[in-house]
Amino acid sequence: MASRTITAAASGSRQLGDLTVHRIGFGAMRLTGSAAFDLGVPSDRERSIAVLRRAVELGVNHIDTAAFYFSSLRSANELIGRALAPYPDDLVIATKVGPGRDPSGQWLPLARPDQLRGQVEENLRQLGRDHLDLVNLRVLPSVEVAEHFGALAELQAAGLIRHLGVSNVTSAQLADARAVATVVCVQNLFGLDDRSRSADVLRECGELGIAFVPFYSIAGKGRESGAGADSSEQVASVARAHGVSAAQVRLAWTLQQGPHVLAIPGTGDPDHLVENVAAGALRLTGQDMALLNAAGPVASDKS
């Protein structure tokens, strides 16, 4: 594929509530040089800003971020504001609340319901906005979501949030959230190497008309550390057949799980960005999909 000319529009479009986005978006976590659970080594600020601007030039209009995406010197939200404000009218910025860090940088896995307003306001301040397009509540599998989601629904009613979603949820938690307020998006771990745990949720989202937005769809078992050398012979075979990279095959496989599936690959590398966006134009054959599906998912219980 001539990836340099391919834009995010090639991936098609999908609704997030009343907002239309291209199915290939951008995840901001790696812009800071950090991982969500590790402060990491700070990235190059100007390079990160350039990647964000290039993403928008390539038609990306769905960016996923969080106030807890930061390294010792970089904040994803600050980078987004610096690169893209004043924001394009069609740009949808999705953020997450629930987890956070205290002033020392110590990881806190889940805020109390009464602390969520502070997290929402912190995202508003960092992004320089008067409302948030989409807020995903990220929880732990054992948590009752109704009270937390209800707190966000109150902020939605107050005009601080446009749409609500959930992240890292089970089918039961999704049902509990939907009983409180409309859910437009589910963000769960899902990819070629780790698809069994969220398979039911992905299917339910399709039936309910909810967007399913998997994370780590490229990194797979690498998770926060990022994608390493791809060891899958099936992926390599399909990649050779199409003259593309293994990462592009993994993204294309993800998007072909259903028209309700979006992708938010993240990178701080401008060349990888172009490659990721171009993956939205890759259409795998039935034979390709059968070969990849036969590769056997790797389940994990890490939350």
Give the domain CATH number at 222. 3.20.20.100
Q: Confirm whether 65 is domain-assigned.
A: yes
Q: Confirm whether 7 is domain-assigned.
A: no
Of the candidates 26, 68, 69, 215, the residue annotated as catalytic is 69
- pLDDT at position 41 is 61
- What's the domain count of the chain? 1
* Three-state DSSP state, 27: strand
Tens digit of each residue's pLDDT, the chain (303 residues): 444 579 999 999 999 999 999 999 999 998 887 555 455 566 789 999 999 999 999 999 999 999 999 877 789 999 999 999 999 999 999 999 999 877 776 788 999 999 999 999 999 999 999 999 999 999 998 899 999 999 999 999 999 999 999 999 999 999 999 999 999 999 999 999 988 889 999 999 999 999 999 998 887 554 444 445 677 899 999 999 999 999 999 999 999 999 999 999 999 999 999 999 999 999 999 999 999 999 765 444 433
Q: Confirm whether 235 is domain-assigned.
A: no
Cβ atoms of residues 21 and 211 within 8 Å: no
Q: Confirm whether 149 is domain-assigned.
A: yes
- pLDDT at position 42 is 62
Domain coverage including residue 141: 13-229+252-281
- pLDDT at position 107 is 83
- pLDDT at position 131 is 98
- pLDDT at position 216 is 87
- If one counts every other C-beta atom within 10 angstroms of the C-beta of residue 101, the result is 14
Q: Confirm whether 289 is domain-assigned.
A: no
Q: Confirm whether 287 is domain-assigned.
A: no
Cβ atoms of residues 204 and 233 within 8 Å: no
Cβ atoms of residues 206 and 174 within 8 Å: no
Q: Confirm whether 217 is domain-assigned.
A: yes
Alpha carbon distance 70, 77 (integer Å): 8
Cβ atoms of residues 161 and 135 within 8 Å: yes
DSSP tag of 208: H
* Angle, CA 134 vertex, CA 205 and CA 115 arms, to 5°: 110
Alpha carbon distance 281, 6 (integer Å): 7
Q: Confirm whether 102 is domain-assigned.
A: yes
Cβ atoms of residues 180 and 150 within 8 Å: yes
- pLDDT at position 299 is 45
Residue 69 is among the residues annotated as catalytic for this protein: yes
